[in-house]
Structure 1
Amino acid sequence: MKMQNKIALVTGGSRGLGKNMALALAAKGIDILLTYNSQQAEAENVVSEIESLGRKAAALQLNVADSKTFDGFFQNVTGALQTKFGTDKFDFMINNAGIGLYAPFAEFSEETFDTLFNIHLKAPFFITQKALPLMNDGGGIVNVSTGLTRFSLPGYSGYATMKGAMETLTKYMAKELGARGIRSNIIAPGAIETDFGGGRVRDNAELNAFVASQTALGRVGLPDDIGGVVAFLCSDEAKWVNAQRIEVSGGQFI
């Protein structure tokens, strides 16, 4: 009897870091269920890339900012698991979807705060909670933080606050889900060249050069620097890694 392939659910998997995570997981032999908010064509392109690696993949729409849609989303997950993957469970929950919104603390609006809260804290909390009945024992959760919880730069107070909360939540997930053999870890990327936050690290030459000058390896991060770490955390090689914050920043501000 053929063993069922392991499956990872990656939120925000149509571009940027999420796309890189999905491809790195697929390269490790894991099938992928990825979500997109509005970029369906991009998401389907990622599905095609994953299938070209010999893995199964599917893309589902999800707006992580709207928690009222989560129950309906998981009905769609159940359907996709059955039709595309021939199973009713998945193994790894990757909470990657995010948005970059920045302002000085003195000028930070309540609306912006609420948006960051809904996307970066409320969504991973309740998406993971609602995923639990569909997750196999012995799987794993990977959350995403930021180097900005360890060092501080003006303008990131709201964003970093949500990520700091995610680091605490990750430990509680590890503690409470350990009885099911589900591990929970969080990665903390440094500054990465993507379109995140309007592409500021990628497109602002002054900011890019500043970050590179403050990074031990002498450059800004690229998506390819991140995905493999997530794939590692979803592998048997990482079976004893649990409740950890793993910074992936090239040695930024050390």
Structure 2
Amino acid sequence: MKVAVVTGASSGIGQSAAVQVAKRGAGVILTYSSNEQGAKDTVREIEQAGGTAVALHLDIGDTAGFPAFHDAVADALRETFHRDSFDQLVNNAGFAGMALIEQATEQEFDKLTDGLFKGPFFLTQTLLPLLADRGAIVNLTSNSTLPHVTAPGYSVYAALKGAIVVLSRYMAKEFSARGIRVNSVAPGATRTRFADDAFAKNPEIIPDLAKTFALGRIGEPDDIGMVIAMLVSEEGRWITGQDIEVSGDQNL
């Protein structure tokens, strides 16, 4: 059985990715930060469909906790999956933050940098000894990195996601010696808990936003989760070093 590690899988895109990966026959080690109940819901959904999943706590912005997380993953692999390695890593965990450049504080900047770039960088480094040869990694970026989706207030967020695009390409190069593929996926606006659950709290913004998409609606988590599952599976075996926009072509 293949095994995947999916971070930030208590809701939204991460939850969808975990479920979709499991539907393709992989076991899943998924993480959560504050939403433990959401993680339990993801595990239950996977188990009800006949799969196997384990939920572990992870603060993606706290690298000091990564060695202990490495050990927890190793324990879960051994105890639940009878493995000493895993095959697929989905770096999804993160959080949003917005401020105009003239108003941004250094504290906000550092928090976003820790969660969106430093965290995924060093988490991948930490887990790399457990990742099997010929495995696959998908990093979540954003279409906010693209010239046609510039939105005032997201300069730091978008710049850090842009850094992940570049990092993914370098990972693809460096890890290719072990046959490990690395791609990134760039969603557009998607119905998740992103930005403090903005869509649930402000549903009136959705109709006008939907008009900016070529396909006439905002994204749903499964729109992204299914692509992630494809990329880490055998179907994506000849795709590496790519940043793939999955957005229904927002602002086409």
Bin of the TM-score, shorter chain as denominator length: over 0.9
Write the distance in 1 (CA, Å) between the matches of 2:71 and 2:203. 44
Report the alpha carbon displacement of residue 42 of structure 1 after superposing the two structures with TM.
2.0
Q: Return the alpha-carbon distance in structure 1 between the equivalents of residues 78 and 197 of structure 2.
A: 37
2: distance between equivalents of 1:141 and 1:95? 8
Which of 155, 158, 164 lines up with 2:156 in the alignment? 158
Counterpart selection for 2:37 from 33, 41, 62: 41
TM-score after normalising by structure 1: 0.96
Deviation at 1:214, TM superposition (A): 1.1
Q: For structure 2, which runs of at least 5 residues remain unmatched after alignment?
A: none
Higher alpha-carbon deviation: 181-190 or 41-50: 41-50
Q: Which amino acid aligns with 1:154?
A: P
Per-residue deviation at 1:100? 1.1
State the SS of the aligned residue for 2:25.
coil
Q: Give 1:206 deviation, angstroms.
A: 4.7
Identity %: 45
Whichever residue aligns with residue 247 of structure 2, its letter is S
Q: Partner letter of residue 115 of structure 2? A: I
Shift, 1:199, TM fit: 2.0
1:106: how far off?
Answer: 1.0
For 1:204 and 1:25, locate their aligned partners in 2 and report how far apart those are by CA, in whole Å.
31
Divergent runs of 4+, >4 A: none
Would you say the 8 A contact 1:26–1:32 is kept in 2?
yes
Q: Helix, strand or coil for the counterpart of 1:132?
A: helix
Q: Corresponding residue for 2:2?
A: 6
TM-score (norm 2): 0.96
Partners of 2:249 and 2:37 lie apart in 1 by: 35
| CA distance in 1: counterparts of 2:20 and 2:104, whole angstroms | 36
Are 2:157 and 1:136 equivalent residues in the alignment? Answer: no
Q: Number of aligned pairs?
A: 250
Choose which of 93, 100, 104 in structure 1 pairs with 2:96. 100
Matched, 1:148 2:144: yes
Q: 1:56 to 1:162 in 2, by over 3 A?
A: same
Contact 1:200 1:207 in 2 (8 A): no
Find the residue that maps to 2:102 and give its secondary structure.
helix
Match of 2:175 among 168, 174, 177: 177
Native 8 Å contact 1:147 1:189 kept in 2: yes
Q: State the Cα distance separating 1:11 from its structure 2 match.
A: 0.5
Deviations 1:101-128 (A, max 9, x none): 1111110111111111001100110000
AA aligned opposite 2:165 = E
- The partner residue of 1:227 within 207, 225, 228 is 225
Verify: 1:20 aligned to 2:16, yes or no.
Answer: yes
Matches within 5 A, 1:65-214: 65-150=61-146, 151-214=149-212
